[in-house]
């Protein structure tokens, strides 16, 4: 209701209803699932890094090299997804608006025998929503894949440098095993944390 009347008149009731429905669902999911998962992920990563530091500060610093690229990719991915989410909401609003207008004039559409053209017009709106959702899915796949690769690169670096440290006697095999377990724990935490949600 805070939106100006001109926005409702221009965008239509369908757009407003679409935004209300989607935003309510997103906020509910954020409060019930994402907030708890995010806190658990942050605590898990912090504890994992702390335990690694207690075992070997040098290897921990090597692992922390992967954090800047992951943080940067998360920032840009979040901005991109937010813009894409707004476009998707607008496309869904247009689709709802068209359906509302045509269904309210169903008798006129039937009388003028324009059902095929109306079906094509609505199919075009559906395809717009589909293409935006497809972009979001591809972006999510690329982002998650990048995080997995960054985690694997960090793991390989840990194994190589850690192998030399084991050979020189700076750390034990048991310490290396513990470090690898903590790395997996941190990687899981980062993957859990990197699921941004956009609200209009």
Q: What is the pLDDT of residues 173-183, one digit of tens each?
A: 888 888 888 88
The rounded radius of gyration (Å) of the Cα atoms in the chain is 25
CA 16 to chain centre: 24
pLDDT 10s digits, 157-174: 888 888 888 888 888 888
Q: Grade residue 115 by pLDDT with cuts at 50, 70 and 90.
A: confident
Q: Grade residue 128 by pLDDT with cuts at 50, 70 and 90.
A: confident
Three-state SS letters, 128-160: HHHHHHHHHHHHHHHHHHHHHHHHHHHHHHHHH
**The pLDDT value given to residue 49:** 85
Residue in this structure with the two tokens 């658990």, named with its chain if needed:
40
- Listed range (14-28, 89-103, 132-146) with the worst mean pLDDT: 14-28
Return left, alpha or beta for 169; rule: phi > 0 is left, psi -120 to 50 is alpha, else beta: left
Q: Grade residue 21 by pLDDT with cuts at 50, 70 and 90.
A: low
What is the pTM (predicted TM-score) of this model?
Answer: 0.61
pLDDT 10s digits, 51-108: 888 888 888 887 777 777 777 777 888 888 888 888 888 888 788 777 777 777 767 7
Q: Distance between CA atoms of 128 and 121, rounded to whole angstroms?
A: 11
């Amino acid at each position: 209701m805070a939106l100006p009347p001109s926005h409702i008149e221009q965008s239509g009731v369908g757009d407003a209803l679409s935004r209300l429905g989607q935003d309510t669902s997103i906020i509910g999911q954020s409060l019930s699932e994402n907030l708890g998962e995010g806190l658990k992920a942050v605590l898990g990563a912090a504890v994992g890094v702390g335990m690694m530091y207690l075992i070997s500060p040098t290897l921990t610093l090597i692992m922390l090299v992967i954090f800047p690229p992951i943080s940067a990719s998360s920032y840009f991915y979040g901005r991109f997804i937010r813009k894409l989410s707004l476009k998707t909401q607008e496309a869904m609003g247009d689709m709802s608006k068209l359906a509302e207008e045509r269904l309210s004039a169903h008798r006129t559409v039937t009388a003028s025998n324009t059902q095929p053209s109306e079906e094509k017009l609505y199919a075009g709106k559906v395809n717009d929503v589909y293409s935006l959702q497809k972009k979001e899915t591809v972006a999510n796949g690329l982002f998650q894949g990048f995080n997995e690769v960054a985690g694997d690169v960090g793991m390989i670096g840990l194994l190589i440098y850690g192998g030399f440290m084991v050979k020189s006697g700076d750390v034990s095999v048991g310490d290396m095993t513990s470090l690898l377990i903590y790395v997996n724990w941190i990687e899981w935490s980062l993957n859990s944390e990197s699921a941004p949600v956009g609200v209009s």
